[in-house]
Amino acid sequence: MTTIAGGNDGSAQPYLWKTYDTMMENMIRSKRVKKRTKCDDKSISKCCAFLLSHEQDLSPVPDFTKLVGSDKDEKKNMLISSLKNQANHFRQRFNFTDSEVEIISRSLAYIGDDCARIISRKKRDKDAGGIDSSDGDDPRLSIVRAWHKTKEIGHILQENSMSTYMFILSNSGEGNNEIDALVDDALLEVISCYHTMYESNEKTVTIRLKSLMSRGKVVEAEDMLKALAAQTEISGKHDKAVVRLRTYMPLMEHYCAIGNLTSTLRLYRQMQACPGIHWDVESYSLLLSSLARFGYFFSDDKNETNGNKFDTSDDVNLYGPILFDSLVSDMAKDILELTEETSSEIIDSFQIGMKAYFDKQSKFDDSGKDQVLSSQNYIVERVKIPKGNGTCPVTGVKLRLLALDEFQRQNVHDTLLEMSQSTTEEWMASIQARNQKESNEKKEGNTESIQDENYGYQELLKFSKWLE
């Protein structure tokens, strides 16, 4: 982990902490802290000196990021024990009272609130197209410093305060590699500590996933999602699952972008196995477009496609038209149709992939004969299905019939009748209100009359009988 002891290692200059120093000094001397702790000025000054000191007195503590993968209870006990030892070491070294420790811990929590407000104000200014209202200092650095002070006193932040720290640290900076490295190190520790001490949620999982991926730890990111999905399956609480489609998508987008077929299909099968994940049209479009663009749907050679090796030890690695048929069959179970935008994206990707693949094939064809298989054998376009027979005019494939079973039919029937009754009542109420208004204003010419209260119900019942 990166050392931030006030620039002693040469990696961070003292000016980087000026925001923290100013904010913390104002915070610890504020009425908010004094009112909650009821300490005298001497204790306040003592705590302020510690919080503003650039020196650190950390005894060896476990790297929170190394605790990932062990049993959660064991990991939690290990962390609590380590921080308890650190708290005792801190008390012995500085002789702080319980009240003084409370001053420090509250100040460390409150500075997170202030930094979060700065981040939010910056975002509002940016969205409004106005001038940045801050003075250019990065509030993330204040939280980096505050986090190290929190570890130094062996304190465990409350859940909401730790979540606030994550929110601040997960914001992007100005592209300074030195600062971003410090922030990223702290973020990964805060997330790991949060997942150890408290229940994970979708927001924290997503932040941790993106943090791991930004550090190039893609395998660890996938393992984390797999473990969380397994925990959900064991508990059976799918309605409270922290891993959703949008949680997985940053990792799926990464695999699709680099054209890694093995990883893409492995993650896809993992997502398909999760009961709480439901693929939408945009996600299928991303998957099909990326694989088509890399030419994976055109190869009859499972050992190599477009320069990318297959891992034949895993049966998820289908290839060529078989792969396409498998994915589209899955898609047909989840969605009824593609939007115009997604269909255009898929068509463009197929055209790019076909051209690249068959251009490459022609370079290696030294037989002097025309290739039997070429891009001319593939047709990718949007077609209009005739209403009469439901058959594709290009492929001759007939669309499947979506039939309802008896239970589904009865449910649709009853629901429609119920909806018609409530809708009719709303319609009647609006007509009555308008007629009353017109009557009060003594207007004439209102030709719209109130129908029988069962009008909508009766009309829908007639339609239902006709449909049968």
Q: For the chain, what is the largest distance between any 2 Cα atoms, rounded to a whole number of angstroms?
A: 94
Check residues 370 and 290 and name the one with the higher pLDDT: 290
Q: Are 309 and 289 in contact (CB under 8 A)?
A: no
Check residues 387 and 339 and name the one with the higher pLDDT: 339
pLDDT of residue 205: 84
Asked if the model's pLDDT at residue 252 lies above 90, the reply is yes
* 28 burial level (CB within 10 Å; 0-12, 13-18, 19+): buried
As a whole number of angstroms, the distance between CA 296 and CA 344 comes to: 19
Cα 380 off chain centre by: 32
Q: At what angle do helices 139-152 and 18-28 cross, to 10 degrees?
A: 60
Check residues 450 and 401 and name the one with the higher pLDDT: 401
- Which of the given ranges, 72-76, 102-106, 253-257, 410-414, has the highest pLDDT on average? 253-257
The confidence band for 146, taking pLDDT boundaries of 50, 70 and 90, is very high
Phi, psi at 308, each rounded to 5°: -105, 125
As a whole number of angstroms, the distance between CA 193 and CA 91 comes to: 22
Asked if the model's pLDDT at residue 7 lies above 50, the reply is no
Residue 130: CA atoms inside 13 Å, Cβ hemisphere, count? 9
User: Between the CA of residue 79 and those of 75, 86, 160, 304, 414, what are the distances in Å?
Assistant: 6, 11, 19, 47, 56
- Dihedral sign, Cα of residue 404, residue 405, residue 408, residue 413: positive
The confidence band for 256, taking pLDDT boundaries of 50, 70 and 90, is very high
Terminal Cα-to-Cα distance of the chain (whole angstroms): 71
**Using one digit for the tens of pLDDT, what is the confidence trace for 362-391?**
655 555 444 444 555 667 777 888 877 888
Q: Are 262 and 310 in contact (CB under 8 A)?
A: yes
DSSP class of residue 391 equals B
Check residues 5 and 253 and name the one with the higher pLDDT: 253
Task: Count Cβ atoms below 10 Å from residue 60 Cβ, excluding itself.
Answer: 8
* 137 burial level (CB within 10 Å; 0-12, 13-18, 19+): middle
The confidence band for 290, taking pLDDT boundaries of 50, 70 and 90, is very high
- Which of the given ranges, 210-219, 263-272, 382-391, 410-419, has the highest pLDDT on average? 263-272
Asked if the model's pLDDT at residue 313 lies above 60, the reply is no
As a whole number of angstroms, the distance between CA 327 and CA 309 comes to: 20
Average pLDDT over residues 307-327: 64
Average pLDDT of the chain, as a whole number = 76
Q: Are 211 and 166 in contact (CB under 8 A)?
A: no
Asked if the model's pLDDT at residue 260 lies above 60, the reply is yes
pLDDT of residue 428: 67
Which helix (H) or strand (E) element contains residue 330?
helix 320-334
**Using one digit for the tens of pLDDT, what is the confidence trace for 22-64?**
888 888 877 777 676 667 888 888 888 888 887 766 555 556 6
Q: What angle do CA 346, 347, 350 make, to 5 degrees?
A: 85
Asked if the model's pLDDT at residue 203 lies above 70, the reply is yes
Average pLDDT over residues 292-310: 64
Q: Are 330 and 365 in contact (CB under 8 A)?
A: no
pLDDT of residue 15: 55
Q: What is the pTM for the complete model shown?
A: 0.62
pLDDT of residue 43: 85
Would you list the DSSP string of 397-446? Answer: PBPPP----HHHHHHHHHHHHHHHHHHHHHHHHHHHHHHHHHHHTT----
Task: Count Cβ atoms below 10 Å from residue 20 Cβ, excluding itself.
Answer: 23
Q: Are 70 and 136 in contact (CB under 8 A)?
A: no
- Identify the CA nearest to 137 among candidates 152, 118, 112, 150: 118
- Identify the CA nearest to 140 among candidates 156, 122, 152, 127: 122
User: Cβ contacts of residue 370 below 8 Å, gap of 6+?
Assistant: none
pLDDT of residue 207: 83
**Using one digit for the tens of pLDDT, what is the confidence trace for 116-144?**
998 888 878 777 765 554 455 788 889 99
Cα 419 off chain centre by: 36
pLDDT of residue 164: 92
Average pLDDT over residues 141-161: 90
